[in-house]
Amino acid sequence: MREWQIEGGFGLDRLKLQDRDSPVPGPGQVRLRLRAWSLNYRDLMMVQGRYNPRQPLPLVPGSDAVGEVVAVGDGVTEFVQGERACPVFAPDWSGGDLTDGALRSSLGGPAMGLLCEERVLPVTALVKPPAHLSDAECATLPCAAVTAWRALITEGGITAGSTVLTLGTGGVSLFALQIARMVGARVAILSSSDEKLERARALGAEWTLNYRDEPRWGARIRDWTGGVDHVVELGGAGTLEQSLAAVRTGGHISLIGVLAGVSAPLALTRILMRGIRVQGVFVGSRDDFLGLNRALLARPDVRPVIFEERPFSTLPAALAALETQRHMGKIVLLPG
Ligand SMILES: NC(=O)c1ccc[n+]([C@@H]2O[C@H](COP(=O)([O-])OP(=O)(O)OC[C@H]3O[C@@H](n4cnc5c(N)ncnc54)[C@H](OP(=O)(O)O)[C@@H]3O)[C@@H](O)[C@H]2O)c1
């Protein structure tokens, strides 16, 4: 089996495809033959050394994949050979609050990830993905979709009629749009591209705005919506000030991404005097993944948005494509 590794230093040119022996499952473990993988902005940052410059190498990157069970260890009753399974983002996070132990188990850094053809994992780190979704669609779920689910549903508690703002048209943002629409919430979305905004309208966005044309978009969103109940904050330092202008007094900002920087001066009075809940979100637990899957099963018309599919062997080029931000939705790798 082949496995991608970051070795000898960071950078797309340090990704090496290696041959390895097939791993053998121990008690309580299963071996998956992975059949589709999806890429996240986090994978790009990890490979470039921007996510954690102190991450020990070599590292197998990647957190998102779906596979087929090809061998089971002693005591495994939950899965049989031939069944499909999705690993969860953090194998040691079954439910409840995030913990240090859960963080340490995150696949693709610090724990070895999934950009390999076979992987042994504890059975407790797996979920059965919705049967009606393709392999490529299932592979988009573990990080981006679970993050949007935890932000809006588990932590955000949005309901029909809630208003949500989400930033950009990447993986997390489009899942946020789709999940918000599934529960009947109303969605505002930003993009640098009018063409992508047009497609976001087709996915159910009610308010659309080009952030390149209008860099001070917060006031406009507030005018349109009266102040949104919930912001899916993916830009970080470069966008938080505008998100604070867009959210209603007493509203909620899920701090998820750093697409536009990791640190910036901030007037804290804007948060405390308006009673805004700013909450860090780090993907989600296995329970979150199970909740998402139940919702997707009930709404088979809602399908992950896949921008393109590429062969597994082209990972460096696929990550370079992700960096251009021409995509809308997810980039998926398939065997080859
Ligand atoms: N905390 C967590 O658990 C967690 C989980 C998943 C992801 N993340 C983070 O969330 C962010 C998004 O991840 P992703 O995988 O969804 O990324 P992605 O698919 O690569 O999304 C990139 C898109 O974000 C939009 N964007 C970039 N800069 C922007 C800005 N200044 N304002 C508004 N939109 C902007 C662009 O959309 P347009 O092309 O439409 O302009 C771009 O195409 C990343 O920072 C990632 O590390 C965090």
| pLDDT tens-place string over residues 243-273 | 999 999 999 999 999 999 999 888 899 999 9
Using CA atoms, how far apart are residues 85 and 65, in angstroms rounded to an integer?
9
Structure letter (DSSP) for residue 44:
H
Using CA atoms, how far apart are residues 294 and 156, in angstroms rounded to an integer?
18
- Whether the CB-CB separation of 143 and 89 falls below 8 Å is answered with yes
In ligand 1, the atom with minimum distance to the C-alpha of 284 is 3
- The count of other CB atoms within 10 Å of the CB of residue 112 is 17
Decide whether any atom of ligand 1 lies within 6 Å of the 143 Cβ. yes
Q: Among 38, 39, 40, which residue has the most ligand 1 atoms within 8 Å of its CB, making it the best to mutate?
A: 40
pTM exceeding the 0.85 threshold for the entire prediction: yes
Q: Which CATH number fits domain 145-280: 3.90.420.10, 2.40.10.10, 3.40.50.970, 3.40.50.720?
A: 3.40.50.720
Decide whether any atom of ligand 1 lies within 6 Å of the 142 Cβ. no
For 41, 170, 260, 268, the CA distances from 240, given in Å and listed in that order, are 19, 18, 9, 11
Decide whether any atom of ligand 1 lies within 6 Å of the 168 Cβ. yes
Domain boundaries, the chain: 2-140+304-334, 145-280
Q: For residue 264, what pLDDT is reported?
A: 87
Using CA atoms, how far apart are residues 303 and 15, in angstroms rounded to an integer?
31
Q: How far is the CA of 120 from the centre of ligand 1 (A)?
A: 30
Contacting residues for 73 by C-beta, under 8 A, at least 6 apart: 25, 26, 27, 28, 29, 30
Q: How far is the CA of 167 from the centre of ligand 1 (A)?
A: 7
Parallel, antiparallel, or unpaired for β 228-233 and 247-255?
Answer: parallel
- Kindly report, residue by residue over 125-165, the tens digit of the pLDDT: 999 999 999 999 999 999 999 999 999 999 999 999 999 99
| Confidence bin at 2 (pLDDT 50/70/90) | very high
Contacting residues for 87 by C-beta, under 8 A, at least 6 apart: 32, 65, 67, 107, 114, 119, 121, 125, 126, 142
Q: How far is the CA of 146 from the centre of ligand 1 (A)?
A: 15
Decide whether any atom of ligand 1 lies within 6 Å of the 88 Cβ. no
Using CA atoms, how far apart are residues 107 and 100, in angstroms rounded to an integer?
14
Decide whether any atom of ligand 1 lies within 6 Å of the 51 Cβ. no
In ligand 1, the atom with minimum distance to the C-alpha of 330 is 19
Decide whether any atom of ligand 1 lies within 6 Å of the 224 Cβ. no
- Kindly report, residue by residue over 42-82, the tens digit of the pLDDT: 999 999 999 999 999 999 999 999 999 999 999 999 999 99
DSSP letters for 209-256 = EETTT-S-HHHHHHHHHSSEEEEEE-SGGGTHHHHHHHEEEEEEEEE-
In ligand 1, the atom with minimum distance to the C-alpha of 42 is 47
For ligand 1, atom 30, the nearest C-alpha belongs to 235
Q: For residue 267, what pLDDT is reported?
A: 86
Q: How far is the CA of 283 from the centre of ligand 1 (A)?
A: 13
Using CA atoms, how far apart are residues 50 and 62, in angstroms rounded to an integer?
15
In ligand 1, the atom with minimum distance to the C-alpha of 259 is 45
Q: What architecture is domain 2-140+304-334?
A: Alpha-Beta Complex (3.90)
